[in-house]
Structures are given as C-alpha cells and as structure tokens.
Amino acid sequence: KQALLQVNNLKKHFYLGKGETLQAVDGITFHIYKGETFGIVGESGCGKSTAGRTIIGLYDRTEGEVIFKGKNIHTMNQKERYAFHRQMQMIFQDPYASLNPRSTVSEIISEPMEVHGMFANKQDQLKRVYQLLEDVGLHKDHANRYPHEFSGGQRQRIGIARALALDPEFIIADEPISALDVSVQAQVVNLLKRLQKEKGLTYLFIAHDLSMVKQISDRIGVMYLGHMVELTESDKLYNNPLHPYTRALLSAIPIPDPDVEDKRERIILEGELPSPINPPSGCVFRTRCPMAMDVCALEKPKWKEVHYHHYVACHLYDEQKTNGQDFTETAV
C-alpha cells in the first residue's frame, strides 16, 4: 500500500504573548494510505482540528513536516503548491458558517473553479455545477438559491459539492456531521462513503465521537492534549485498546447489541482536561490516568509499535518501566 500523506513529528504552537505558548499540536506522526479513511478522534481541545488545518496549510507549522504524494508541502514551489491546493480540500463542521450567505449555491460551488481557472467558458462551468449538485444528491434547480433556503444536511451537501469542485484526491472532513440532526448524520456519512468509492477519494475524518469514527474509518488515531496516543486499524482499536485513554473513551460507548450483556467496567476519568498552555510533564495524560506510575511524570512515553500496525505512547508497554509486567493483552 502506498502512503498518500505522511505527517512527521508535526507541531503547531500558538504564541499568546507574555511568554505563553499554546501547544495545540505537539509532535504527531502518522501516514494515510491512498483510498482509505483515516479517523482522528479526541475531545474538543485535543488539537485534532488544528492538526487538520496545519496539514492542509491553513496554518503554518511550527515544526515537523507534511509530505503529500512524496512532496514536502513546506518547500513546494509555486506551481507545486497550486497543484496541491487542487488536490487537497476541506469540509468544515458548520456548513452554514462556511458558506457565504450572499452568494448563490452556483456561485459558492463555482468559486474554487474560477480561482483555479478550471473552465474558459461559463457554460461548461455551469454544467459542472449541475453535475456536482447531482453527485451530492441535490438538484440543478437549487443552483440559484441561497444557503439560508436549505436545511443543515443540504447545506453540508453544498459544502461537499464545493470541496469536490476541483476534483481533489484527498479531503479533510473536520467534524462534518457534528452540527447536524442525528436523523441526517447517517445520510451524510453514506454520501461521503459513496463519493469515496465513485471518485477514489482518500479521507482524513476528524470527530469527537468514537462510535461515529469507527463506522467510517479504516484506521484511527486517538489524540489527547496535542499528542497522538494510539493508532491502529478500527477493529483492533475496538477489540484490544492499549492506551488507558482509549480504554476510557471506549468504555463510554454502549455495546450496540442489546442481547449482549455489557460486563465492561465504565472507566470514569478524574479531573479536568489540563490546559495545552501548561501541559503536564512526562505523559500528558498522567493527571487523569488510572494506571499512572512514578515514571509517567518524569519521562514522555515514546511512540512505539507494540503489535503489528498498532502504535501506542504509554509506559505500560515498556517492560523496563513496569518490571517486566505485560499489559498488551489486558482486556478493557
């Protein structure tokens, strides 16, 4: 399998003045294969949206690199950057805030095509708008209407049509369904899945709801306070979560089958999410971790492949730190 995107030790810090630094993303490493859906999950404030925005170049990175199709996006020349902007697009959480209320649907979807000079002739561009509307389950009669005339789900479809306008290969969807009614969430997820098949798209799907991410993702990365703490295939993450934070997140999801008795212990995390301005020393999760040991305050756990294609950053999986005790098969 071929990696379409590679993210190496990516950091995004915001300097707030008075010597304060918000360490929104603090060194994440992962890759995304062509054609897959990679989910990033974590509580609000964990840095997942900032990671997405830094990867697409809306924010300058503080450190590390983003490599798309073998090219470092930070050292691209202008022509390469232009191509990159066509190939990577973003869908936002709030479809209303991201659509200009004074533009018609046709103008909204056409804008990126105009910026990139995709069509010389308005007729061809309009045909493309109609085609895109059809692709996302809307009608060409919708082209001359304004965003406020649509429901939340329809507005997200317009946002998706705009993201598809330049025929991208890679789409970052930042909580694309969290603002929608539960009844339409599944429709939008199904639309994204269908478009992925039809157009061979690769997705980075960002969300705070682990059960939602599982439905759509092939692999999942779990973020906590600017760090990626665990990463593996969706099934492995569910069946054998290794990081104490992932175990806590999963224990909060009810078992879908009502006939299966839920024997799992619900893990309640103590305390508040610490501030990314003053993150805890050592392991950032240690102030809330039920398994924390002395070493956790002193040393940052290394990102390590504990099982095949299963990465985790936690001292429990370093035998030298646990006197040889093995935690890798401990059930939730």
- Using CB under 5 A as the criterion, which residues of the chain lie in contact with Mg ion when the complex forms? 49
Angle at 184 between CA 179 and CA 190, to 5 degrees: 110
> Is residue 292 a contact point for ligand SF4 (CB under 6 A)?
yes
How many positions of this chain bind ligand SF4 (CB under 6 A)?
A: 14
Q: Does residue 171 contact residue 204 with C-beta atoms inside 8 Å?
A: yes
Nearer to ligand SF4, 157 or 286 (CB): 286
CB of 297 to ligand SF4, least distance (A): 8
286 binds, among ligand SF4, Mg ion, none (CB under 5 to 8 A by kind): ligand SF4
Nearer to ligand SF4 (CB atom), residue 262 or residue 294: 294
Residues 208-267 that bind ligand SF4 (CB under 6 A): 243-244
Residue 176 contacts residue 156 (beta carbons within 8 Å): yes
Q: What CA–CA distances, in Å, run from 92 to 98, 135, 300, 310?
A: 7, 19, 33, 29
* 204/316 with CB nearer Mg ion: 204
* CA distances, 100 to each of 111, 122, 261, 302 (Å): 11, 21, 49, 44
Minimum distance between the CB of residue 49 and Mg ion, rounded to whole angstroms? Answer: 3
Residue 244 binds which entry of ligand SF4, Mg ion, none, CB below 5-8 Å type-dependent? ligand SF4
Kind and range of the H or E element at 8? strand 3-17
| Interaction between residue 164 and ligand SF4 (CB under 6 A) | no
Asked whether the CA dihedral 71, 74, 79, 81 is positive or negative, the reply is positive
Per the DSSP assignment, residues forming a β-bridge with 21 are 15
Q: Of 256 and 324, which has the nearer Cβ to ligand SF4?
A: 324
Q: How far apart are CA 24 and CA 16, in angstroms?
A: 12
The window from 18-26, 60-68, 269-277, 293-301 that contacts ligand SF4 (CB under 6 A) reads 293-301
* Least Å from the CB of residue 243 to ligand SF4: 6
Q: How far apart are CA 137 and CA 129, in angstroms?
A: 12
Alpha helices in 165-216 (DSSP H): 182-199, 210-216
For the chain, the maximum distance between any two Cα atoms, rounded to a whole number of angstroms, is 71
Which of 28, 51, 113, 316 is the binder for ligand SF4 (CB under 6 A)? Answer: 316
Give the nearest distance from C-beta 253 to ligand SF4 in angstroms: 19
* Closest residue by Cα to residue 69 from 118, 27, 32: 32
Rank residues 275 and 330 by Cβ distance to ligand SF4 and give the closer one. Answer: 330
Contact call for residues 176 and 56 (beta carbons, < 8 A): no
283 binds ligand SF4 (CB under 6 A): yes
Nearer to ligand SF4, 219 or 315 (CB): 315
The window from 1-9, 14-22, 55-63, 285-293 that contacts ligand SF4 (CB under 6 A) reads: 285-293
Choice between 50 and 106, CB closer to Mg ion: 50
Is residue 158 a contact point for ligand SF4 (CB under 6 A)? no
Residue of the chain from 4, 40, 158, 296 that contacts ligand SF4 (CB under 6 A): 296
Helices 105-115 & 122-135 angle (0-180, nearest 10): 120
Tokens for 29?
A: 């490493």
The contact set with ligand SF4 (CB under 6 A) reads 243-244, 283, 285-286, 289, 291-293, 296, 301, 314-316
